[in-house]
Every structure is written in structure tokens, then in C-alpha cells.
Structure 1
Amino acid sequence: MTGTLHDITGEAVALHALPPLDTLTDDQARGAVCVWDAAEPPLTAETAVDLGERPSAEGGHWFPHGCRPHAAQHTHAGDPLDIATMREAVQRLLGPAADPPGAELDLLILQLRGHLNLLISELDGCDDPRAEAGLGEARRRLSAGPGSLGPLRHATLLARSVVALCTHAERLAVTG
């Protein structure tokens, strides 16, 4: 457990500006090396931070990845977890007056994925069996994508993982 966000993972940086696609090498554009530094060694599953699918100017999509140190530089590393904001986001899908967000669903999914990655970064290595189970489920949901479930069901599952990991973070007092 880190206690700070010095080794951030995930889409916490997804809304931040990335280098323009036309300035990147092929390896950077396809996510094989850090989007911020082409001279770095190839990324692995352990070192890569998925920065989320991005639209390209040509109408397609690209899938940037960064290394953990550069991703941390492009976030608010060191800030405590904002559990209240995370719980507020999930209420849009899980609360008693839940109103599925319609056109905002893609942005909400991105936000939930960012929350999960922040929580995973904080709870990783906590040596708590209940938290480890929640971390495993959150990682599976992040890697699965919407698939045949569709975006609304996928967002709901992400939201449930956010709730579970928020509860673990509060219980283990890693929120700053």
C-alpha cells in the first residue's frame, strides 16, 4: 500500500492532453512504448498505463499507453483519494434516483475507469484478502471492456467495483 499516488495507474490522465498523434512514432501510436518518451524500453503489462481509446483526426481511433513515471507526472500525484467524488459519480448509475447518463455515458465510463485505477494504485499490495478480491474483480472489469454486455451494463459493473474499493480504502484508511 502506497499511501500516496506516487505510482499512479490508469485513466486518471485520460482527460489530459497527450502529444499530437502526428508527432508520435508508430510504436508510440500503437501503445508499445511510452507516449511521452519514444526512447524508453517497450512497455509491458506491468509497466504500461492504458490512457484510454482516443479519436484520431482521420476518423479512426488510437490507443495510447504511458509508463508509470510519466503518467504520474501528468496527474495530481500525491493528492489524497477523493472518496466523496468517487461515490458521487457512482450514484449516477447506482443511486435510488439513478438516471442513466445517455450521451454522457462514455465520459462517465472514462471517469469510473480513472477512479478504479486510482483506487487500485492505492490498495495494491495491501495484504488484505477482502481488498485483494475486490482488486482482482476491478482489474477484470477494467480489462474486459463493454463487450457483449453493452456500455450501460459495463458502466454499472465499473461503478460497483468503485463502491467496493472505496469501502476497502476507507476501512484500511488509505484515503490520506
Structure 2
Amino acid sequence: MTTSTGTIPAGVLAVLALPDPAALAEDPLRGALCVWCAGPLTLATAVNLGELDSPRGRWWPRACPACAGTRAHRALFNHAPECADCQAIPADGQSAPCDTARHPYRLVRQSLR
């Protein structure tokens, strides 16, 4: 995966640990099935992870809300302890995660709805 043209930055996709597109069947590559559990997706439920380039060509990873939330939650726990920006406490006392943590945080919140 080299680029993301969607709303989720490539750095965030890296911490979400997308599967290798070379190991996926056609339906998950085109976004018809969840990239993690291979469950069916609808326009109303799919979490769009952008449009990516891979050695295999363009692909459109999408996930079910449960998998997106689980992966995003795991990504936050793996990323935050090593990130100076996530560890910093702003003067106003409010949490201000870095850009890499902000998107997984939103995915976790969306999966809880």
C-alpha cells in the first residue's frame, strides 16, 4: 500500500494493520466484503478506508463497523504509548491526540453507535 486518496491518512491505515492485498480475494479488494472478517457490507454499514495502491493494483478496502472499531481500538493502544504527542498533556487539561490517533478514535466512537 503506497497511497491513500480517501479521508483516512496512510499513516493511520498503517496502524490499523490492513491485510496484505496480495492475500485477499476479489470481493474484499473491491470493497464488497470486510477486509478483516469477509462479512458482507452494505452502503449503510460499510466503513470506507479509502482507495489505495498496491503492487496488485488499486483496491478499495472497507470494513464492517465491528472490525473497524476493534482494529481502531487496538491501534490506539499500540500507538499512544510510543507517541510523544499523545503523551503530552495540553495546558487546558484536555486530551489532544496526534493526527494518527484522531482517526482511530473516531472509528472506535462510530463503532459504538
1:118 corresponds to which of 103, 106, 111? 106
Taking every aligned residue pair, what percent have the same amino acid on both sides?
37
Give the AA of the match of 2:68: A
1:76 aligns to 2:87 (yes or no) = no
For residues 79-136 of structure 1, give each alpha carbon's deviation from its aligned partner in whole angstroms, at most 9, with x where no partner exists: 8xx84135xx5xxxxxxxxxxxxxxxxxxxxx59827x718946x98xxxxxxxxxxx
1:14 is aligned to 2:13: yes
Structure showing greater Rg: 1
TM-score when normalising by structure 1: 0.38
CA-based RMSD: 3.7
Distance 2:58 2:95 in 1: 32
Q: Does the CA-based 8 Å contact 1:14-1:52 persist in structure 2?
A: no
- 1:42-77 per-position Cα deviation (integer Å, ceiling 9, x unaligned): x1122111122222114x321100101111121226
Structure 1: stretches of 5+ with no match in the other structure: 1-9, 90-110, 126-176
User: Structure 1: which 4+ aligned runs deviate by more than 4 Å?
Assistant: 10-13
Corresponding residue number in structure 1 for 2:51: 53
Q: 2:69, 2:108 within 8 Å by CA — same for their partners in 1?
A: no
Normalization by structure 2: what TM-score? 0.55
1:37 — aligned with what?
Answer: 37
What SS does the aligned partner of 1:61 have? strand
**Distance change >3 Å, CA 47–CA 56, structure 1 → 2:** same
Gaps of 5+ in 2: 1-6, 78-93
